[in-house]
Chain A
């Protein structure tokens, strides 16, 4: 548990300013992601969701804090653990859940599944199942911003496991050469599937992985949504100013297994329990809000709203019909 204490210390170096409406918004987003993921786990258990299903429970503060620093038109791209990113990007919970159940009302019409969803409208570019691939692709989103001369920024998320991939370093190099506005976000949840970060990465401070290319980096307490927001603002301002990429190592923790079928025997129950009880991002946001006088009724209203969104999504995901067989042959090529 030395590690947990360390994260906590870094994040608590100075208490961030609490902007009540903003923090309430973040609390709501994090709660929505958690309840959504719990429901997804439940539907998986009922056999309604198939294949791989990677839950984001525990890591909610990362994408929520990052999105607090995002502007309209900034792009988001991530790995296969993508449900939280989509909800934080404002995508419809019903469409995400119906994609998980493989129904026609899903965001990809049931043809993508948990790992492959996209939204042009919300500037969300997937959902990628090949570890590390989204890092090069995210650089491409940043490239398109630079090419078009706008000031948009690409939020490119990957895990600490992916951070060892060769193309990540190819991307660091190109991003710095071309001064691309890419925020590289390493979501370090400490385990690449079942392999602890110490066993997979010779680098001990992943925020310094961009140093050879001159990419500035920060280590962030990913269990604290305000700490993430603060770091995100630094990174985004750097990118928007045309100074090139920025690297954040956001230290977080996933409470569930790598995917639904992971018994998670590589860590102790006590370790998981300690993170949940002492560092939970939703609980800590709630305590902060209580400290500035937010009343029980306000939390209750959010809880109820979130519960109904998730229930509606679950209902929709079960009643939306399966895709028509003719969908097999659509969307292979753009016609014309």
Chain B
């Protein structure tokens, strides 16, 4: 039987090329792997190798011919070198029918709700955010033997910020693991363990250091489920303090909320209160997806009332209205929720009732709650500690433009950290980070 040799595509973008040189002539024997011709593309000269054995029966395209389209027959190969009388069998080039319909994006990105309800959890007690985070980890580690904690200083030192206090004593060195200061390597290891079904909690001493591990958070953790056609999930939590601390300079003071919220395949959570911290961390640990859990060092020591119910848990993807109001909607997350509430108090003294929304979750974003609020107040102010450009405030504003434009009575306003690396000097640092007065001023511009 004879087969045609076709002009091959030798790069992802090649559509045609020059048949520069034949290295075999009619009648020559050819083995699989033999170089039979040279082709010039726009990028390089490439060799064409035979994939089957036989004798060259015919050369259909002379050497030196330019612009030979990919898949054009260039030669005929047959067992005995004879030219077949009947039409030559070309290798099958089956092209499956291409669907013509465009895939419509879901109106809302899949929320991947964890199913818990935000209900009344009964009695509370004053709890620091630090205790709430530790309690959440301890409760989940008691509940599920596959959950473990690793990171720098999490075990013997009891946590650089004492979040893991007591966990080594209770769970032992097998489940509370001190790592060397090698974020790239230990994060990749944790992601590998998660791909194989364990449920790691990775503590970053701060999220500034997670930049060393970002390839694993995004390329390995967030994308594998999709790239595996749904076979291989990655149940893992990346947690630690995010954003500005106090007087630690530019490299240790940065908000990564919009960086991670940009990535499909990740969930991004940013708690404010102790209840947020406990309820959302428990949900994050149980979530079958990678969750980036952005804490704030300045909040660790703050005390809030937190439900004492052992089953207390919060849903990821649900915002909370911390204060009701009818004149303006203020959207904030993490430490900025407290700032927004302070501003609301100042505004109330001036007769302006602000509604304050604590986002709790940045991806998925609870757009419905924000839209509903803006439909009532007709005004939007966003507050974040991070930089403005392509930030969370920009995204929230765009969501409102898309979903509630006709209800807006004034252009939305963003309050944010200044667009500079955070300075060290006390006075400059204060000037760079949002203050309650900035929120008051922003509201008064549009109310």
Name A's B-contacting residues (CB within 8 A). 38-39, 41-42, 44-48, 50-52, 75, 77, 103, 106-112, 116-120, 125-130, 133, 135-141, 143-144, 147, 166-167, 169-171, 173-174, 177-178, 255, 260-261, 263-265, 269, 276, 315, 318-322, 324-326, 328-336
Contacts and interface: CB of A to CB of B under 8 A. Distances in A.
Interface string B82-97: 0000000001111011
A332 to B, nearest CB: 5
B179 interface: yes
A173 B178 CA distance: 13
Contact of A335 (B101, B112, B180, B189): B112
A174 B184 contact: no
Nearest to A115: B227
12 contacts: A42-B51, A50-B12, A125-B196, A130-B219, A260-B10, A260-B11, A276-B33, A318-B94, A326-B103, A329-B103, A329-B110, A331-B230
B232 A46 contact: no
Contacts of A166: 184
B288 interface: yes
B229 interface: yes
B225 interface: yes
A182 B438 CA distance: 55
Contacts, number: 225
B64 to A, nearest CB: 19
Nearest to A335: B112
Contacts of B226: 111, 331-332
Contact of A112 (B97, B110, B228): B228
A334 B289 contact: yes
A46 B35 CA distance: 17
Contacts of A144: 192-193, 196-198
B182 A173 contact: yes
B434 to A, nearest CB: 32
A133 B32 contact: no
Given A125-B232, A324-B99, A335-B110, A136 B12 contact: no
Interface of B: 6, 8-12, 14, 32-33, 35, 43-49, 51, 70-71, 91-94, 96-99, 101-103, 105-106, 110, 112, 114-115, 148, 174, 177, 179-180, 182, 184-198, 215-216, 219-220, 224-233, 235, 264-265, 267, 288-289
B185 A174 contact: yes
Given A45-B8, A111-B227, A140-B194, A319 B94 contact: yes
A141 B182 contact: no
A318 B179 contact: no
Given A108-B229, A255-B33, A171 B219 contact: no
A130 B215 contact: yes
Given A44-B9, A45-B9, 12 more contacts: A38-B32, A41-B51, A45-B10, A133-B188, A133-B220, A136-B216, A140-B195, A147-B198, A269-B35, A324-B99, A329-B110, A331-B226
B228 A108 contact: yes
A200 B48 CA distance: 29
A139 to B, nearest CB: 4
Contact of A126 (B46, B110, B177, B224): B224
Nearest to A121: B231
Tell which of A39, A136, A141, A147 has the most Cβ of chain B within 10 Å. Answer: A136
A261 B189 contact: no
Nearest to B363: A333
A75 B196 contact: yes
A270 B225 CA distance: 44
Contacts of B115: 336
Contacts of B177: 178
B32 A140 contact: no
A133 B193 CA distance: 14
Q: For A143, A322, A329, which residue has the most chain B Cβ atoms within 10 angstroms?
A: A143
Given A139-B188, A263-B44, A325 B99 contact: yes
Contact of A171 (B91, B103, B188, B289): B188
A170 B185 contact: yes
Contacts of A111: 226-227, 229
B190 A118 contact: no
A332 B215 CA distance: 18
B186 A46 contact: no
Contacts of B196: 75, 125, 140-141, 144
Nearest to B196: A144
Contacts of A120: 231-232
A174 B93 contact: no
Nearest to A257: B46
A118 B193 contact: no
A56 B439 CA distance: 60
Contacts of B289: 333-334
B15 to A, nearest CB: 9
Nearest to B182: A170
Contacts of A260: 10-11
